Chain A
Amino acid sequence: MRRGPLLLTFLSGAAIAALFFIPHYKAQAANSMLLEWTLVVYAFALILGSISLWNSHARKVRNRAEGWGFSVVTLVSLLAITALGVWKGVGEGTPVDWIYNTVNSPLASTMFALLAFVIASAAFRAFRARSVEATLLLVTAIVMMIGRVSIGELISHRLPGITEWLLDVPNLAAKRAIAIGVGLGAVSTALKIILGIERSYLGRS
């Protein structure tokens, strides 16, 4: 039963990987066609996602599960935005644009801005010099936090230079190592999937 999906994965993976390196116009035309297919898959994924969202929240409302009121808001918003978008369009000056600018945009920004408060409280309670390593991290963090903002220049003209060195030398060395490791890991995972060694994406047997 699993031979079909495995064969399809092998052929698609190997073909797309090969097409990346073949500059011939016929290979590139085939590549473009495969890309257009991917766009169609994306479009279906969007429909699938919307249906899944609807089902999941409708179930919560039906069962009066905890927080079902929020599910009602989600469902009403989903319907209203879709209907308004189809009816009036999504360009500048449309109701969808107005809702986006006055509801979605401030709400999303506010959620992210709350991080500053949580981080400040967490830093006060948890960022403690309990060991040599923690002290090293603490001192580096303080230098970075002050040196990377405008006020750092007022405190000492050397601070921005120190932060630049920290970023360019120790940080960059570690980043390079991580990037190479991640790259090799990605290649090995891709090869394992294409060759059928990694099969978890097929689900449980």
Chain B
Amino acid sequence: MTWVRQLLAIDRRIIFLLVGAGAALPLLFPLNLPVAVTPRVRAAYDAIDALPPGSKVLLSMDYEPDIMAELFPMSVAVLRHCFRKHVQVIAMTLYPAGTGLGERAISTAAKAEGAILNRDYAWLGYKSGFQVVMIGIGENLRGMYPVDFYGTPLDSIPVTRHVNSYAQLQMVINLSGSSAADYWIQFAQGRYHAPLVIGCTAVMATDYYPYLSSKQLLGLIGGMKGAAEYERLIDTFGDARRGMDAQSLVHLIVVGLVIVGNAALFISKRSGGDGGGPASGSMTR
């Protein structure tokens, strides 16, 4: 059938246009779709929420701009929660291009919650070497970071003055888009027994489910969905909840395309055609 063949050989630009519209329209006109909170994100929220005021947490934002759509809103949401609870945050990154993002996330959250540099949070910036830094913090924080990102000695910063290792930290939070999360589990939690919460991209999230079952993680925030759930828990409407509208629509379009493609294949086969598909050209054509 001609129309089935035409459908199977649809111009990729039409698909791109559909996906583009699906992503852009909900961002321009928010749909405010509901976001159900999963037990993993609830556990992460509860763990941070239970920290008494004045507690200190180490927040490592180990990601670069390529995955900022997922992890930047998550960082802002977690930081806002900490600041609201008067939990002091010592922030850092293990990625060179994560410095600008980390600094931006902190200033966004600090502005929203009225937090002040050095009184409510410290920004240590970037240090190279995953395991080395993690073990180094466990042995002697000042050995790794004699000064903060702005060159201030750690002893001159109220937030870091009495912190020398994980022992003085009530929690470690790692927001990561890479294997850095594995190392935080291995070293900060496994070796130094620091209570650990992980936030990661959606595709990575399932890798860390076993650590939740083994109680090595207190909570897990996965992808933009997790960030949106966290935003809901702290009662804000940020980039993640806006982004979930777009993600929902794009997922729906992709599922629609897959169903249409398979229906066309089925009809084509029944009418004696070869079914088109990958044989008809490149997957990305």
Contact = CB atoms under 8 A, between A and B. Distances in A.
Interface of A: 20, 28, 31-32, 35-36, 38-39, 42-43, 46, 90-92, 97, 100-101, 104-109, 111-113, 116-130, 138, 141-142, 145-146, 148-154, 160, 164, 167-168, 171-172, 175-176, 179
A82 to B, nearest CB: 12
Nearest to A122: B283
Instruction: Choose among A36, A120, A172 the residue with the greatest number of B CB atoms under 10 Å from its CB.
Output: A120
Interface of B: 10, 12, 15-16, 18-20, 23, 33-36, 38, 64-69, 97, 99-101, 103-104, 107, 128-129, 132, 135-136, 139-140, 143, 149-150, 191, 202, 206-207, 209-210, 213, 225, 228, 244-245, 247-255, 257-262, 265, 275, 277-278, 280-285
- Please report whether the interface of chain B is mostly helix, strand, loop or mixed according to DSSP: helix
Given A128-B261, A175-B209, A175-B210, A151 B132 contact: no
Given A117-B15, A175-B209, A175-B210, A108 B107 contact: no
Instruction: Choose among A46, A121, A124, A127 the residue with the greatest number of B CB atoms under 10 Å from its CB.
Output: A124
23 contacts: A32-B140, A36-B136, A39-B129, A106-B65, A108-B66, A108-B68, A109-B66, A116-B19, A117-B20, A120-B19, A120-B250, A121-B12, A123-B258, A128-B265, A146-B251, A148-B202, A148-B225, A149-B225, A150-B244, A151-B33, A151-B251, A153-B33, A167-B209
A128 B267 CA distance: 13
Nearest to B261: A124
Contacts of B107: 92
Contact of B262 (A92, A128, A150, A167): A128
Question: Which 10 interchain pairs have the tightest Cβ spacing?
Answer: A150-B33, A108-B65, A151-B248, A149-B248, A112-B66, A124-B257, A105-B65, A122-B283, A100-B100, A108-B66
- Please report whether the interface of chain A is mostly helix, strand, loop or mixed according to DSSP: helix
Contact of A42 (B33, B65, B129): B129
A84 B234 CA distance: 40
A163 to B, nearest CB: 10
Contacts of B104: 101
A58 B249 CA distance: 46
A125 B281 contact: yes
B132 A38 contact: yes
A122 B284 contact: yes
Given A97-B100, A128-B262, A35 B66 contact: no
Given A38-B132, A128-B262, A153-B34, A109 B254 contact: no
B65 A164 contact: no
Nearest to B17: A117
Contacts of A160: 36, 38
A35 B284 contact: no
A113 B265 CA distance: 29
B34 A150 contact: yes
B253 A120 contact: yes
A142 B284 contact: no
A137 B103 CA distance: 41
Nearest to B7: A124
Contacts of B247: 149
A123 B100 contact: no
